[in-house]
Amino acid sequence: MNYFLSNRFAENKEVLSIILVILGILIFATVLFFVLGKIFPGDKVRELQQRTKSWWIMALIFILATVLHPSISFVAFGFLSFAALRELASISKNVRPEDRRVIIWCYLAIPVQYFLAYMGYFNLFMIFIPVIMFIWIPFVLVVRGFTVEIGKSMSVLPVQLMFTVFSISHLAYFLSLPELTGFHAGGRGLLLYVVFLTEMNDVFQFTWGKLLGRHKIIEKISPNKTWEGFIGGFITTIVVAYFIRFLTPFTAIESLFAGAIIAFGGFIGDVIVSAIKRDIGLKDTGNLIPGHGGILDRIDSLAIAAPSFFYFVYNLYYA
Amino acid sequence: MKWLLMVFYYKLLMRPFLSILVGVKLVNSENLRQSGPVIIVSNHNSHLDTMSLMAALPIKQLIRTHPVAADDYFGNSPFKRFLSRWVINALLIKRNRADGDPSPTDIMINSLDKGHSLILFPEGSRGEPEKLQAFQKGVGAILKRRPNIPYIPIFMRGMGRVLPKGEKLLVPFDSFVSIGPKSFTNQSEVTLIVKEVEEAVRKQSDVLLHLFKH
């Protein structure tokens, strides 16, 4: 417990070095797109510059939320879940107007879930949303008494909770994992590892797709995604996962598996949100982050990659 | 004193509450940075509408901007009267007036002539969410007599879900306030002016739709 009350990240060489790597990449991208913008001015470069600017802000917020006092990290991740759930509930056409008051119960689940993560009550943390809320939400819906299309709400609301609260809260739980002897980076290292790799995987898939993309992988959902982008991103992510495994307790082979899980999980999350948006006819889920759409567009990959990676490392080292 | 209370309430309490907790997002908020008297015209679904508009105003304009409200609703209890006077800064209009009372148009024009701005909800009452009801004549009558005063068309989306008419529990949902550019009417007929303003508000509704669609 002492570890969580004291702020020892500066002594944590592994965490410090990955933060320097992130800042280095951002500086490199900023300079690169600035020079490109001078040589080939145009909308495409301007979009890349805008994206880089948004990346700066997101990276700085994330790094601060990770290295500051853990209680700040839990509040920050909790707010991320809240904003994502609010966005999903707002755009979903399967939520009936009569469900307003039930959605309050979904919002109230957020502080509970993050409190369980903060206290490290792992068993309750694991079942609170998939079991307790899974029963409670339909029960509240029944008590409210609007039966027309009640099945839709019974299915949609728990799924929204799973996607935005259960999944993202695993990022926070990394900070509650106990210390392992001989593993210095700790939960913060694992958190940075999975977030860094998931975001890089997005960038790699995008870049490889732009460079080599020919064959559509899932055209009806995401017309810009190609097999070349997916495989290029997959391989690059595994390579990076291998080289930054100093953030984890993994052996070389385990880090390759971790990279594969994150790359594949990120892809799944991405296409799920794309499909939800396609169903509603939206291009982006919001316009909060310039060049990136809304919050859901940013956390879609993490929503699947984070819990998948969490249970991978948990079962190998913490169970 | 009132100025302090309003700045504290709207800028320190309401603004962060609306943007962080409720999820109100302003689109083209720079269009609200006006100095002179203006008429802000908006659709109306919720009590949050007035709160969001007031919270979005520049600090200097806060005390000189009056949401126009019905006296029989906002003046019918001491608490509501206190709220409309000290917090909402409302200009109360009597719907059923006795002989000798000044006409609502005169009251509003009087306020504009003093350099103050007005917030008008020409739909009359809070209607069904995202459905624009026919506009009432008031805005046309004012603009006909003061064509040199600009109007700012605004459309709000989502507030009707956060806090609909008749509900007391506030539920956060993403909601959007689209603020149009200020414009002067170029009609001289009351009905035509009303039509023009209604079109301008409808256009802001399209702005919101196009923001997210393909």
User: What would the pLDDT profile of A51-109 be if each residue is shown by its tens digit?
Assistant: 888 889 889 989 988 888 888 999 999 999 999 999 999 888 788 888 999 999 999 99
Is residue A99 domain-resident? yes
Is residue A159 domain-resident? yes
Pairing of strands B117-120, B39-42: parallel
What is the number of domains present in chain B? 1
A1 confidence band (pLDDT: 50, 70, 90): very low
Q: What's the pLDDT tens digit per position in B140-156?
A: 999 999 999 999 999 99
Pick from A75, A82, A87, A90 the residue to mutate for testing the B interface (most B CBs within 10 Å): A90
Domain of residue A128: give its range: 95-176
Is the model's pLDDT at A4 over the cut of 50? no
Per-residue pLDDT, averaged over B8-26, amounts to 92
A76 vs B132, more confident? A76
A53/A35 Cα distance (integer angstroms)? 15
If one counts every other C-beta atom within 10 angstroms of the C-beta of residue B58, the result is 12
B214 confidence band (pLDDT: 50, 70, 90): very low
Q: What's the pLDDT tens digit per position in A258-303?
A: 999 999 999 999 999 888 888 877 766 665 555 556 888 889 999 9
Per-residue pLDDT, averaged over A29-41, amounts to 89
Is the minimum CB–CB distance between A107 and chain B shorter than 8 Å?
yes
Region of residue B99 (left: phi > 0; alpha: psi -120 to 50; beta: else): beta
Q: A57 is written with which tokens?
A: 């802000």
Instruction: Identify the H or E element spanning B42.
Output: strand B39-42
A153/A134 Cα distance (integer angstroms)? 12
User: Which of A54, A51, A56 is closest to A25 using CA atoms?
Assistant: A56
Is residue A219 domain-resident? no
Is the minimum CB–CB distance between A46 and chain B shorter than 8 Å?
no
Is residue A75 domain-resident? no
**Distance from A86 to chain B by nearest Cα, in Å?**
6
What is the number of domains present in chain A? 1
Q: Do A87 and B172 touch (CB under 8 A)?
A: no
Under DSSP, is residue A94 helix (H, G, I), strand (E, B) or coil? coil
Is residue A148 domain-resident? yes
Is residue A214 domain-resident? no
- One-letter amino acid of A264: F
pTM: 0.90
**Distance from B20 to chain A by nearest Cα, in Å?**
9
Is residue A37 domain-resident? no
Is the minimum CB–CB distance between B158 and chain A shorter than 8 Å?
yes
The question of ipTM being above 0.85 is answered as yes
Q: Do B171 and A282 touch (CB under 8 A)?
A: no
- Adjacent-strand bridge partners of B175: B24
Say if CB B173 and CB A90 are below 8 A apart.
yes
In total, chain A counts a number of residues equal to 319
Domain of residue B79: give its range: 2-212
Burial class (CB in 10 A: 0-12, 13-18, 19+), A36: middle
Instruction: Supply the CATH number for residue B204's domain.
Output: 3.40.1130.10
A245/B42 Cα distance (integer angstroms)? 56
If one counts every other C-beta atom within 10 angstroms of the C-beta of residue A228, the result is 18
A313/B9 Cα distance (integer angstroms)? 48
- pLDDT number for residue A43: 81
Could you say which of B23, B161, B213 has the minimum Cβ distance to residue A100?
Answer: B161
Q: Do A87 and B174 touch (CB under 8 A)?
A: yes
Beta-carbon contacts below 8 Å between A and B? 45
Is residue A47 domain-resident? no
Per-residue pLDDT, averaged over A29-36, amounts to 91
E strands, A213-272, where?
none
Q: Do A90 and B167 touch (CB under 8 A)?
A: no
